[in-house]
A = this chain, B = another copy of it.
Amino acid sequence: MAATKTRVKTPATAKSGDGETERRILDAARTVFVRRGSGGARMQEIAEEAGVNQALLHYYFGTKDGLALAVFRESAAKLFPGILRILSSDASIEARVERVVHHYLDTLRAHPFLPGFVLGEMNFNPERMVALASELVSAGVPDAPRRALAVLGRDLALRAKRGDFRLITAEQFVVNLASLCVFPFAARPMLAHLIGLDSADWERFLDVRRADLPQQILNTLRP
């Protein structure tokens, strides 16, 4: 333990007053939770990462689980609402697919470890998913997922009737979309190790993917 600890303890001017300390703690918590999972994370490590004392974490967030929940909500808020908005927009299917791919890949490139963390949390702490639901409604539309699926399903069926597309349910299609965009990030440690990608290779891999995936996904729909 005791990672290299090259942290810069903020200007030494304590007594923040504004919500700055809380923010720093939340950021540190995200870093540590994402790295170790909420089961493997240690309050002490988060405190060090934030440059504050461990007692302060409890002052702001009560319990470890409260902190974990806050981090999870923030993470989920980064992943879901944008996609749902795009999927239920009134652009053409073709445009929606391209926008989803670009939005996902750009967001995840900026936060590459989110998928692993969120998937891990949902598998190992399924009770945390109730937070997800409330996160989605507070982000705007209530019952957004079902609504987005309905819109998409209607549009897909319409285009299928016209002979443009092969028939596919909205559920299968959305899962395909999410799979192709998200899985590579969740599996990155494995991929990097198995097919030997260093981080430059990885960036190139993502560039290619961003360019090619939209058309490949649309091909999926061809009759």
A residues with a Cβ closer than 8 A to B are 35-41, 113, 116-120, 122-126, 129, 132-133, 145-146, 149, 168-169, 171-172, 174-176, 178-180, 182-184, 186-187, 189-191, 193-197, 205, 208-209, 212, 216-217, 219-222
CA distance A194 to B156 in the complex (A): 20
Is B212 a contact of A129 with CB atoms below 8 Å? no
Q: Decide: B193 and A129 in contact? CB cutoff 8 A.
A: yes
Q: List 29 A-B contacts (CB under 8 A).
A: A37-B40, A37-B123, A37-B124, A39-B39, A113-B123, A116-B123, A117-B123, A119-B119, A119-B186, A120-B120, A120-B123, A122-B190, A129-B189, A129-B190, A132-B190, A133-B193, A145-B194, A146-B196, A171-B197, A172-B212, A178-B183, A179-B180, A179-B187, A180-B180, A182-B183, A182-B187, A216-B220, A219-B220, A222-B222
Please determine whether B176 and A180 come into contact, CB atoms closer than 8 angstroms. yes
What is the CB-to-nearest-CB distance from A218 to chain B, in angstroms, rounded to a whole number?
9
CB distance from A131 to the nearest CB of B (A): 11
| Bound Cα distance from A191 to B116, whole angstroms | 16
Residue of B at shortest CB range from A181? B179
- Cβ-defined contact, B124 with A35, below 8 A: yes
Name A34's closest neighbour in chain B (CB-CB).
Answer: B123
Roughly how many angstroms separate A221 CA and B175 CA in the complex, as a whole number? 19
- B126:A189 contact, CB within 8 angstroms: yes
Q: Pick the contact of A172 from B116, B146, B205 — CB < 8 Å?
A: B205
Contact B171 A175 (CB under 8 A): no
Cβ–Cβ < 8 Å partners of A195 in chain B: 145-146, 149, 171, 174
What is the chain B residue whose CB lies nearest that of A209? B172
- A87 to B: closest C-beta gap in Å: 12
Instruction: Choose among B123, B196, B216 the residue that contacts A186 (Cβ–Cβ < 8 A).
Output: B123
Q: Are B116 and A193 in contact (CB under 8 A)?
A: no
B194 A184 Cβ-Cβ under 8 A: no
In Å, the complex CA distance between A36 and B126 comes to 10
Q: Which B residues are in CB contact (< 8 Å) with A180? A: 176, 179-180
